[in-house]
Amino acid sequence: MQGFIRLSVALLWLTAFIACDRSAVFDEYQEIPGNAWQADKPLVFTAQIPDTITGHNVYINLRNASHYPFSNIFLFLNTRFPDGQIDRDTLEIMLASPEGQWLGDGLGDIWDNRVLFKRNVSFPQKGEYRFEISQGMRLDPLPGIMDAGIRIEYATE
């Protein structure tokens, strides 16, 4: 049954990806092996940013299973700029309400969250940006996180 649900979610995402989305500059998910995210195994995303003038919105995408044991997740995000400079951010993302209801869009026991990280930010340099996301929870490996990703789109506001 879970295989059917994962296939359904994958087809839903594929349909959404194929649909015309001119605002997306970069949009990628990576699967967490065994749905158990090890703290020393960051997910690495490489995006080409050609525009230093237009504002961008940057989102963190997370997909969790209903058996995820917490209502939140702490993440470390390292951003390497084309010139080699590195910025490090610590994020707390709420995945469930105080009442215990999962947030985001759900299908079966799988929940998708797209969380705005930065709004209307201009990238200071053209070129290749490298984003590394690590989980910062005290439980290692962290069960129930299935996929994580980054989306960068042109800001429309």
In a domain, residue 6? The reply is no
Specify the number of domains making up the chain. 1
Strands 56-65 and 110-121: antiparallel
Is 31 contained in some domain?
yes
Domain assignment present for residue 71? The answer is yes
Q: Report the pLDDT averaged over residues 125-146.
A: 98
Tell me the residue range of the domain where 31 lies: 22-154
Does the pLDDT at position 52 exceed 50?
Answer: yes
Task: Give the pLDDT score at 18.
Answer: 44
Question: What tens digit of pLDDT does each residue of 35-49 get?
Answer: 999 999 999 999 999
Strand positions, DSSP E, 35-144:
36-37, 43-49, 56-65, 72-80, 86-94, 105-107, 110-121, 127-135, 142-143
Instruction: Evaluate whether 43 touches 132 at the Cβ level (below 8 Å).
Output: yes
Q: What is the CATH number of the domain that holds 90?
A: 2.60.120
Position with higher pLDDT, 14 vs 129:
129
CA–CA separation, 58 and 117 (whole Å): 5
pLDDT at 107: 82
The mean pLDDT of 102-114, rounded to a whole number, is 93
pLDDT for 92 equals 98
pTM of the model: 0.84
- Of the chain, the percentage scoring pLDDT greater than 90 comes to 82
